[in-house]
Amino acid sequence: MIEEALVSRVLGAALRTGGEFAEVFAEDKRSSSAHLDDGKIEELGSGRDRGAGIRVVVGDTTGFAHTADLSEPGLLAAAEAAAAAARGGGGGVRSVALTRQNAPRPYEVQVQPGDVPKATKVELLHRADEVARAQGGAIRQVSASYADSRRRILVANSEGLLAEDDQVRTLFVIGCVAVGDTGMQTGRESVGRTIGFELFDTYEVDELARRAAGRALTKLAARPAPSGALPVVIGKGGGGVMFHEACGHGLEADHIQKNVSVFAGRVGQQVASPLVTLVDDGTVATEWGTFAIDDEGTPAARNVLIQDGVLTDYMWDRLRARKEKRPLSGNGRRQSYQHLPMVRMTNTYLLNGTSTADEIVADTPNGVYVAHLGGGQVNPATGDFVFGMTEAYLIEDGKITEPLREGNLIGNGPKVLEMIDAVADDFEMGPPGTCGKDGQGVPVGDGVPTLRVTSLTIGGTAA
């Protein structure tokens, strides 16, 4: 996107007035999307965002400027603006010698989505609509969305780093509404991977549509969720979002340094059940949060955060790791060239245990089985959370029985970690997600094996 010699000159300009650290982040992102609702294509679009963000650091002050002009005058102007914001005055010339660093790509794209005709993408939506409606007359509404993106980035900094990545992601989502005596019930299914259009060689749209419709139809016979504290079994894959939100954010180094996390100052301490090993890993095959380098040029890495219940480390971005003299963990991420990087998760998951899912359910006389969690809210300073249960069932006499209407799971992240008393050997990643933090969204993945929490508060409507 930018010639190496020009990048070097821009970094030199950023350092000219006394900057201690300078960085150029260039991005060229192309995307396309289509949305179907009520049998009709409502949206069909494509776009391109291209530009660069320049960061200059002096002491604890960061100056940042971004521009869509990738010419030499445009980049130099942005560099000077960022430097002025960091510290005015000074003079002289500083040069930066760059060394290209190559990080292995986790996956080689087979079919670039940009090479696939729009008509082929639209046909997927119509096919999903047709199959979902065929599952039963109670299916009254179907919506489906397709999206893809190709994001090429270049990162260079005054420490001599020069690195590039080419990230391709493809996503498909279908939602269904069923109507019956209990009112309207919904079902949703999504799949997204850091791969090209070959996604649909592995995942069939027909099967995704059947699952979404089946979930909505099953919930038509659902009973109200119980209220109060009960044992909760969380199914494989679908419960990962709870650990992402309730525990993962509290392990991000910016929250630690601001002392707004319950995990601050607890490295080396037992913070969870010995059955819990929590990992954040940007290298996981083709998962949604996977990449070759983060948005600061650091190669993706596998970071064990909690090992056998003991807190081992936090997630770091470049500046905080530099300040604390910690190894880089590959967790510096940003939404686009218009944003500063911050500490973010990638793919966050719990490792397998030794039980089986059947054993865990059979050993739970009464409780709730949660197959899928929806959105929620969490306070990273306290760990308190509320999550919606989008698919849940009653456990009676050690068996999964009746489906439950949507309710809430209420608890505290650190306490949940301590109250996990069984973990199965059936690990699975959950659906793709977008993690929001300080106004920025980035793609993330999460996953869990089946596990049991001895007590969580269910916010249901049953007496």
Spatial distance between the Cα atoms of 110 and 91, rounded to a whole number of angstroms: 50
8 Å CB contact between 424 and 190: no
**What's the pLDDT at 96?**
66
Specify whether the CB–CB gap between 328 and 318 falls below 8 A: yes
3-class state of residue 212 by DSSP: helix
Higher pLDDT, 84 or 113: 113
pLDDT of residue 239: 87
| Token pair in block for residue 327 | 């190894």
Range list for CATH 3.30.2290.10 in the chain: 113-150+167-219
More confident residue, 97 or 306: 306
Mean pLDDT value of segment 191-206: 98
Average pLDDT rounded to a whole number, residues 282-296: 97
How long is the chain? Answer: 463
Phi, psi of 345 (to 5 degrees): -75, 165
Lowest mean pLDDT among 165-174, 236-245, 276-285, 293-302: 236-245
Q: How far apart are CA 320 and CA 291, in angstroms?
A: 21
Residue 143 pLDDT greater than 50, yes or no: yes
Q: What is the DSSP letter of 226?
A: P
Residue 272 contacts residue 278 (beta carbons within 8 Å):
yes
| Mean per-residue pLDDT, 256-283 | 95
CA separation for the pair 56, 25 (Å, rounded):
12
Instruction: Calculate what percentage of the chain has a pLDDT beyond 70.
Output: 97
pLDDT, position 206? 98
Is there a contact between 405 and 388 (Cβ–Cβ < 8 Å)? no
Q: Average pLDDT of the chain?
A: 94
Average pLDDT rounded to a whole number, residues 84-107: 71
Report the range of poorest mean pLDDT among 25-29, 256-260, 311-315, 441-445. 256-260
pLDDT of residue 380: 74
At 271 the pLDDT is: 96
The pLDDT assigned to 94 comes to 47
More confident residue, 243 or 366: 366
**Listed range (69-73, 96-100, 324-328, 442-446) with the worst mean pLDDT:** 96-100
Is the pLDDT confidence value at 114 over 80? Answer: yes
- Residues 151-159 have a mean pLDDT of 97
| Mean pLDDT value of segment 213-242 | 93
Between the alpha carbon of residue 187 and those of residues 26, 85, 204, 214, 285, the distances in Å are 39, 49, 17, 7, 28
pLDDT of residue 105: 87
Average pLDDT for residues 191-209, to the nearest whole number?
Answer: 98
Instruction: Please list, residue by residue across 445-463, b when 16 or more beta carbons sit within 10 angstroms of its beta carbon and e when fewer do.
Output: bbbbbbbbbbebbbbbeee
Q: What is the pLDDT of residue 462?
A: 62
Say if CB 433 and CB 443 are below 8 A apart: yes
Mean pLDDT of 381-387: 87
* pLDDT 10s digits, 42-92: 999 999 999 999 999 998 899 999 999 999 999 999 999 999 988 754 444
Write down the CATH superfamily of domain 113-150+167-219: PmbA/TldD superfamily (3.30.2290.10)
Looking at this protein, which amino acid is placed at residue 153? I
pLDDT at 394 over 60: yes
pLDDT of the residue at 89: 41
Question: How many angstroms separate the CA atoms of 81 and 93, rounded?
Answer: 16
Please state, in angstroms and rounded to a whole number, the distance separating the CA atoms of residues 209 and 309.
39
Distances from the Cα of 420 to the Cαs of 181, 251, 342, 397, 414, in angstroms? Answer: 37, 19, 30, 20, 11
- Which of 400, 71, 404, 391 lies closest to 239 in space, CA to CA? 391
DSSP result, 55-107: EEEETTEEEEEEES--SHHHHHHHHHHHHHHH------------EE--PPPS-
pLDDT over threshold 80, residue 298: yes
Report pLDDT for 81: 92
pTM for the model stands at 0.94
Inter-residue contact 246 to 378 (CB < 8 Å) = yes
Mean pLDDT of 198-205: 97
Q: 441: which 2 tokens?
A: 């969204």
pLDDT in tens, 184-196: 999 999 999 999 9
| 285: amino acid identity, one letter | A
